Structure 1
């Protein structure tokens, strides 16, 4: 945990949950595991506010609780971590992935669960059906069965999972009594029903928004709508499985790298291996389970029309490639092949570091950086010769990289007295510490982007509120069938200068949002590499 991580976590908590929750969450990050009494004493907040803040954090999987260290009967202790909070930064990517894989229905299901933290299946189906129905222009209503089917597919592919049963710790402390489920840190191995969808029959359709009079008539004339307590899933809450999404992002990064390095057919072969191994491979495994060439051939999409001899050539090409994304683990069944996950992440992180050096310091510095990565240790004269760069320029570039901690200098003395005249000075690149340093710079960059976006919105707060009021008035007039003259009159309440200012503001906000997402992709790659190195 670093200062930049704490700063970014505080900004994310404030933006999504407010300043009160931010204060409690930031305190837990800095102080570690604490019980309710200690949190109250050190934050100086009221008991009610602290309890509500903890419930919000637990509801969204940001905070976990457990029995006290003194055993049963001791006060419940709460803890959080930067990793859990930083997942908030990736919410747009989770939603977009669900939309790509399962369409609008999957998108809204994941979005609803991210917004609420935890929900029952029936409540999620009802809410998503209503939202889809309101967006349909042909007057059709979305059936609960369609949404329920998409929900089940997300569970089958492990993108959604059940929340663990209420922990014993939650029963000993009233501060956690309003949280619907226990912390979201139980693994599927310790919770066998994690991906078991309950036998719930959901019948009905989503409904459109009605006027107040129509809603009153409906409440008096029609029977109650879908209720979780009457459909057999009470007490069964669901949450987004972030680890599964992260594995999908990792696999997509590997597939994209193979496509850029070789071609689309090679990437499709790697995609097939990863798809066949995604359930059987541990998230921390260094490589996928071995698959024979025969199994890979049978699992390839028929649309590619790849013959067996062509597949063997591609597999040989992938195994011989210097990046070593694919490795050979045996000869049975036409050859056993694996995807080297940790090695692939290391190569992706290495490419990221090289691109950063090239963007900041130019192609010649990047050439020196790549040379040191490949040769490990070189003297200054060797760098000049191998990189074919004049001595003065090479010296300046090396010192610039050294001053930014991208290159390290190692002293190898010939004698015990460390005399400069009898010492070798070798330049080297330590990839892991450099990746960690770049990761901290990325955290700082995202925090700056968020602060800039909040500043831009605050500066134009009055104009944004005015625009929202006018949009609400226009919406109500259109719903009531107002005359075009009335609509034009309301639209003219915003002047031309204000419209231009609003357009400029939206452009700036969109650029900042796009930059956040792009930096987050780099953060994900570097985090995955650092984590894989720690577990290997």
Structure 2
């Protein structure tokens, strides 16, 4: 792993949890999966302190554990990518505030701070916090509804629980059908017992589903890209395509199942704000289909036609566009032309660049050398067959 990543991970752990946790976390970062006795040997920290640090890291899902071959000792592994997610917490909170309001913002903030909570606990904590902030309109039923909305929208998921108590190393599991089932929360019970100690959902804990936030971020990038490239109607069409895609396809699949065009057309027709899109619907579909991003491709003609959405391909093309724009800004249009030519051909002889890019030989060699020097291009030597 890179030195830069290590520095960021170290900084986040130090700022968030203190030097002891940072020391244990960085040992796992540098040396990979290890059991407790190895961490003790190389960090020279007392066992109780190491256990406490590991407990914190496990609680915040920054370290995972699995039994060794004998099933009696746990091996611990740091998850650097999850450590980096702490830097995005303000963005997650802001997203929820815009989408669900202040109550949902406080609920999410409490769960992010504690890593996981039961529904009753987070509702009571949010209620107390909003009361302290002089919010007179806050009620327990309203907070419960917001909490349920976050679960239904998949921003919160159920935390895995211990499958069996008879194992030396716990095996944490959660069934797919349990991930988004709303818990039983009795408002009368919460009102009568503000501590929430014996609530019906006392063993059902909830944590943040970061993938759901990243899905929203990804979709926003796509919608904004087509809005900027064409107009707002194109962005709205992409948004509707994505929404219908999720009905029949997993969110992070590279290629979606076919989406019937009639479904999209019906949705557009029902929205009064999309009159222009409704009028020129076929033209907008054709424009997006022919766009260089390759986001959608026709997959069938039945029932008005259907399209598949190529999410991975679209983002690859976006990345290429960014690189090409960087070349254009750093050098000039001729260098960008050479870069696009090499990208198109994958491998091309240096003598052919000047001919096919239609650039004078001297300038082509100079620009090619500059692109090589800046690592935009690479040389691969190929031995030519000897003649004679």
In 1, the alpha carbon distance for the partners of 2:249 and 2:187 equals 34
Show the counterpart of 1:157: 153
Structure 1, residues 316-352: CA drift from partner, whole Å, max 9, x if none?
2221223211111111121111221111111122123
Taking structure 1 as reference, are residues 306 and 294 closer, same or farther at Cα in structure 2, changes over 3 Å only? farther
Q: Equivalents in 2 of 1:402, 1:377: separation in Å? A: 14
2:280 to 310, 318, 331: 310
Distance in 2 (CA, whole Å) between partners of 1:198 and 1:267 is 36
TM (norm. structure 2) is: 0.89
- 5+ residue gaps, structure 1, are 177-181, 206-222, 418-536
Q: 2:183 aligns with which of 189, 193, 198?
A: 198
In 2 relative to 1, CA 83–168 (structure 1 residues): closer, same or farther, beyond 3 Å? farther
Match of 1:321 in 2: 291
Q: Report if aligned partners of 1:66, 1:77 keep a CA contact under 8 Å in 2.
A: yes
1:144-181 deviations in Å (ceiling 9; x for gaps): 111211111111111110101125589626xx8xxxxx
Where in structure 2 are the equivalents of 1:251-266 lying within 5 Å? 251-266=219-234
* Alpha-carbon separation, structure 2, partners of 1:367 and 1:45: 58
Give the whole-Å Cα distance in 1 for the aligned partners of 2:368 and 2:99.
46
CA contact (8 A) 2:155 2:209 kept: yes
Q: Would the alpha carbon gap of residues 166 and 383 (structure 1) be closer, same or farther in structure 2, given more than 3 Å must change?
A: same
* CA displacement 1:184-222 (0-9 Å, x = unmatched): xx6x7x4421111111122599xxxxxxxxxxxxxxxxx
- Partner in structure 2 of residue 91 of structure 1: 89
Aligned Cα RMSD in Å? 2.8
Q: Is the alpha carbon distance of 1:337 and 1:383 closer, same or farther for their aligned partners in structure 2, counting shifts above 3 Å?
A: same
Give 1:79 deviation, angstroms: 1.1
Shift of 1:76: 1.6
Q: 2:37 aligned with 1:32, yes or no? A: no
1:416 Cα deviation (Å)? 4.8
Q: What is the CA-CA distance between 1:405 and the residue it aligns to?
A: 2.3
Q: 2:51 aligned with 1:51, yes or no?
A: yes
**Larger RCO, structures 1/2 (Cα 8 Å, 6+ apart):** 1
- 1:405/1:376 Cα in 2 relative to 1: closer, same or farther (>3 Å)? same
Whether 1:42 and 2:39 are equivalent positions in the alignment is: no
Cα pair 1:112 1:124 within 8 Å, conserved: yes
Confirm whether residue 229 of structure 1 aligns to residue 197 of structure 2: yes
**2:4 aligned with 1:19:** no
Q: d(CA) in 2 for partners of 1:164 and 1:279?
A: 25
Unmatched 5+ stretches in structure 2: none
Note if contact 1:34-1:77 (Cα within 8 Å) is conserved in structure 2: yes
Q: Contact conserved, 2:140 with 2:187, CA < 8 A, in 1?
A: yes
What are the equivalent positions in structure 2 for 1:342-361 lying under 5 Å apart?
342-361=312-331
1:27 and 1:131 map into 2 onto residues whose CA distance is 37
Q: Figure out how many residues of one structure are paired with residues of the other and give that number.
A: 386
2:64·2:79 contact (CA, 8 Å) conserved in 1? no
In the aligned structure 2, how far is the partner of 1:97 from the partner of 1:171? 40
Over 3 Å counting, the alpha-carbon distance change for 1:202 and 1:393 in structure 2 is: farther
1:387-425 C-alpha deviation (Å, 9 max, x unpaired): 5555444433322321332211133333259xxxxxxxx
Q: State the partner residue of 1:474.
A: none
1:130 corresponds in structure 2 to: 128
Match of 2:142 among 125, 146, 151: 146
